[in-house]
Amino acid sequence: MTAAKTNERPGTRATASHIRTSAYKAREVLDQIRGKSYAEASEILDFSERGISHEIKKVLDSAVANAEHNDSQVAEELFVSACYADEGPTLKRFRPRARGRASRILKRTCHITVIVSRYEESKLEQIRERESASGRSGTAQAAESRRNRVERSRARADARAAADEEAHDHDDTDAVETDLDVDGDEIEFAPEGAYGPMSADPPEDGSIPDGFEIKGNIDSMKYHQPEGRWYDNTVAEVYFATAEAAEVSGFTEAGSKAQASEDVEDADSGAADTTEDDETDEES
């Protein structure tokens, strides 16, 4: 009986072309996983010390993914039915040697193919009986539990995305809060400013927010009260409800007594320095 050709073997396959290693090195690793289940083959490749094992592991995972998505197979019921490495094009390089000679360097490449197939029902029954006798969960239960975990994970991700979107819709900092007074009329409150709930941002129409009459200038970090000298000429960059709130935010009152006292102290110190200099000049 003639065996099936390489490209006609049944199963789901994956191929990686032009891998920068020789076919001989790849075949040594492929011989170890041929006929093994997907779990056993993955374990062998994970603990293999050969560098080509990483590339073969990616091809194996790709073949199993193709079987799951295209052929509706269960990963725990698959095994490596065939795997082989074909020689690819050889890159020819040269290395200079003594006396003007050159030696050839051959950089081999290969094409790796992995084919996975589903176990027969009789073989699956033997595997399930062996797993149940050893106390381990069967392949069908493992596949079902994995599908349930994936579904729960996706449900949680969808719930988090919906919650984030809902929170983003309600998080409108430019919205104006409203309430009702005793008579039932609607009252508008200015949105919370950058310096806390006792501050308010300037309205776009240039009006003064109700309850926030103290003007603040961010450049000078000064605040102006309504009875202040420069209140009408000041363009407010932030409004405060009380002077205490402005001072807590780091603002100082424009033209305050503290500033005046500091100016007086500076003047007195300057006068004292002038007197000392005069006395020194007279003694000399």
pLDDT tens per residue, range 168-197: 665 554 444 444 444 555 444 445 566 777
What was the pLDDT predicted at 57? 95
What was the pLDDT predicted at 138? 53
Where does CATH 3.90.470.10 sit in the chain?
7-134
What was the pLDDT predicted at 182? 44
CATH level 2 (architecture), domain 7-134? Alpha-Beta Complex (3.90)
What was the pLDDT predicted at 113? 96
What was the pLDDT predicted at 281? 52
What was the pLDDT predicted at 1? 47
What was the pLDDT predicted at 241? 85
Low-confidence ranges of the chain (pLDDT < 50): 1, 173-182, 186-190, 257-260, 264, 284
What was the pLDDT predicted at 174? 47
For the residues of 106-144, what is the DSSP string, one character each? Answer: EE--EEEEEEEEEPPHHHHHHHHHHHHHHTPPPHHHHHH
What was the pLDDT predicted at 245? 83
Residue 6 is classified by DSSP as: G
Please enumerate in sequence order all residues whose Cβ is within 8 A of that of 283, keeping only pairs 6 or more positions apart, or say none: none
Two structure tokens written together for 211: 């309850």
Q: For residues 253 and 214, what is the distance between their CA atoms, to the nearest angstrom? A: 10
What was the pLDDT predicted at 40? 92
What was the pLDDT predicted at 89? 96
The residue among 83, 82, 79, 67 whose CA lies nearest residue 123 is 79
What was the pLDDT predicted at 189? 45
Q: What is the pTM of this model?
A: 0.48
Please enumerate in sequence order all residues whose Cβ is within 8 A of that of 211, keeping only pairs 6 or more positions apart, or say none: 189, 190, 241
What was the pLDDT predicted at 80? 94
